[in-house]
Structure 1
Amino acid sequence: MKLDKTDRAILMKIQSDGRATNASLADAVGLSETPCARRLKRLESEGFIEGYQAVLSRSALQIGVVAFANVRFGVHDRKLSDQFEREVQGIPRIVSCHNISGTADYLLQVVAKDLEDYGAFIRDVLRALPGVTSVESVLSLREVKRYGGLPLL
């Protein structure tokens, strides 16, 4: 399915405000409510919209550390990688995980209350995951740009 200008406008609007009413969405993209609702349903059913979620405040939740962990494996075995990926899915403080190229095998974004909490997580959880032989952490000092949605290329 090819996206037209109106489809793109709808996607951009709901990325910035997932709770926008159909009326405000229709107004923002220059449609009446019924055609706008139909387009939104079509975009959902065709998989352009995977879901809706709230953006939570790290400070209100007392999450003081955002870290990026480069994880390396000693042995590159498909079963071990699959097991690692399954286990990562069940660890809430790992907010993203990417299988990457380069000197590391995976890049994880991890959140913690403080450095002590992060250190315990690395020691007790991350290093205990299947296949992990080393972890190198990079700590975020300040977030300059937060995820604000995908660009429509």
Structure 2
Amino acid sequence: SMQYHNAAFIDNFEKQIQDLDEVQECYHMAGQVDFILKINVKSLEDYHEFVRYKLSKIDNIGVLNTTFVLKEIKHTSEYYI
């Protein structure tokens, strides 16, 4: 989540996220969190280094919450109408 929500801070965040190879997906959200990132790293140590040396260097990040996938139950990109 961002500390400040003006366009300049959001644009800056979006530009810097583009340069992080670990980030596979990034979504600007409505609701309790501002952005959700899907990242891919090999280990917890790599995750720690990503947060400490890359993600935390982006200005205006206020709160960082992390969730880990324990098991994939279903994954599909099919869309039914």
TM over 0.5: yes
1:28-53 CA-partner distances (Å, limit 9, x unpaired)? xxxxxxxxxxxxxxxxxxxxxxxxxx
For residues 1-150 of structure 1, the aligned pairs below 5 Å read 72-146=1-75, 148-150=76-78
The CA RMSD measured in Å over matched residues stands at 1.3
Cα 1:129–1:150 change in 2 (3 A) is farther
C-alpha deviation, 1:109, in angstroms? 0.6
Q: AA paired with 2:79?
A: P
The percentage of counterpart residues that share the same residue type is 25
Contact 1:127 1:134 in 2 (8 A): no
Runs ≥4 in structure 1, deviation > 3 angstroms?
Answer: none
Name the TM-score, length of structure 2 as normaliser: 0.88
Structure 2 gap segments, 5+ residues each: none
Highest RCO, 1 vs 2 (Cα 8 Å, sep ≥ 6): 2
C-alpha deviation, 1:129, in angstroms? 1.1
1:151 matched to 2:79? The reply is: yes
Contact 1:100 1:107 in 2 (8 A): yes
Name the TM-score, length of structure 1 as normaliser: 0.49
C-alpha deviation, 1:149, in angstroms? 2.3
Secondary structure, in 3 states, of the residue corresponding to 1:112? coil
Structure 1 gap segments, 5+ residues each: 1-71
Q: Would you tell me which structure has more strand in proportion to its own residues? A: 1
C-alpha deviation, 1:83, in angstroms? 1.1
Q: AA paired with 2:44?
A: L
